[in-house]
Amino acid sequence: MSLSLRSVLVLLIGVVLGLGLALSTSVWTALTARQHTRVAIDPAIESAVLVAEVIDRVRREYVDRIDDRQIVESAIRGIVADLDRHSSFLDAEQYEDILINTSGNYTGIGLDVNLEGGRVTVVAPLDDAPAARAGILPGDVVVSVDDIPVNQDNVEATVGRMRGAPGTAVTLDVLRVGSVVPLRFALTRTEVQVKTVTSEYLGNGLAYVRLAAFTEHTPSDLERAARELKEAAGGEPLLGLVLDLRSNPGGVLGAAVQVADTFLAEGRIVSGTGRVRQAQFEEFAHVGDALETVPTVVLVNGSSASAAEIVAGALQDHHRARIIGETTYGKGSVQTVMPLGEGSAIKLTTSRYLTPSGRSINGTGIEPDVRVHSADVNRQYRGAGGVVALRDDVQLLEAIRLISYDSIALNTTP
């Protein structure tokens, strides 16, 4: 029985890093000169030997000395990155960010920001978080954190500096429209729960719900929003709802399934195909959820991806909602995060999903039923306190017009 590739790699890399220069060129020649031997060699072992040889060459002969850990991480990054654009190696910091994105909890100051154009622009401060209490407003532009200016080529680093241990201090300088000099805010970091669900009662039985991402808290937050919207409607059933999934990058698969189930009474939501048993799945809707009978339209754009496309695809295939906006991103694959040693992990594509009708949207996206183009992707309504007014959001206006028509038709149907 041959050794697995994993076992061989662990063994050989351990030998390489442990013995280093003790392995001479003659040893490598003996290992790799299969043309001089009649012994059949497992291809997995040959590949592992080749990887180990390259690592040893770099370690011994590269012009600059490189840390052993860096060499191994670079090797892993190369192996995973060449698979597809969604698979990657995650160092400890990147892995922590993934955990934050899936759990929806982190320690920081509570800012929802837009990182486009080399700027860190505040979309909205989270309710009752340090930034909101200090007076930071939507539209403010962060120019420095702890006196370190924003690097236009690495704005993500600025977001990282806003985070830290609870109770620690951080200083932000922000530019505000109408202000010549930056405003300075001294804040104290605290535990923050990312708000992924925004809802608003629009009157006349109509409601608006925006999902910014899919975290573990999104389904329960959506259920809470549904109850609050019904209360705002005077306890009467809602006549129509706009579900805004624009610029939603996705997130937790299970959360997307639960959100779709909130709007569906029955039928398949999504299925997955993969090589291992865990990557082969089917998820179905169940009767009894809060928004199953509410007429719905779904807003999407080119940045609606992954979990957002699962929801949009399920509602479209079941003719449960009309899709409005622009063709979605087209990420029809599922990634599994696999923890490694020393706080790192790999994010590996393990499955491709299909919509209820059997469509694969990978690379093609979901085509809207009603196409409405927006010249400015950032011109999106984010609630009553946001920078963009509802009247200036052309896609949302069209969605409200259509759902208003649907609600009128519903009320006049005998």
Question: Known catalytic residues?
Answer: 306, 317, 331
DSSP 266-301: SSEEEEEE-SSGGG-EEEE--S--TTTTS-EEEEE-
Return the structure tokens found at 312.
């949009």
Q: Where are the beta strands (DSSP E) in 279-391?
A: 281-284, 296-300, 321-325, 333-339, 345-354, 370-371
Work out whether strand 120-125 and strand 321-325 pair parallel, antiparallel, or are unpaired: unpaired
Work out whether strand 345-354 and strand 333-339 pair parallel, antiparallel, or are unpaired: antiparallel
Neighbours of 229 (CB within 10 A): 23
Q: Cβ distance 227 to 197 under 8 Å? A: no
**CA gap 379, 388 in Å, rounded:** 6
Q: Look at residues 73, 107, 108 and name the one whose alpha carbon lies nearest to residue 90.
A: 73
Residues 6 or more apart in contact with residue 330 via CB below 8 angstroms: 305, 309, 361, 362, 363, 364, 365
In the beta sheet, which residues pair with residue 120? 142
Neighbours of 181 (CB within 10 A): 8
**CA gap 377, 330 in Å, rounded:** 17
Which residue in this structure is represented by tokens 């149907």? 413
**CA gap 274, 333 in Å, rounded:** 10
**CA gap 261, 274 in Å, rounded:** 23
**CA gap 334, 131 in Å, rounded:** 34
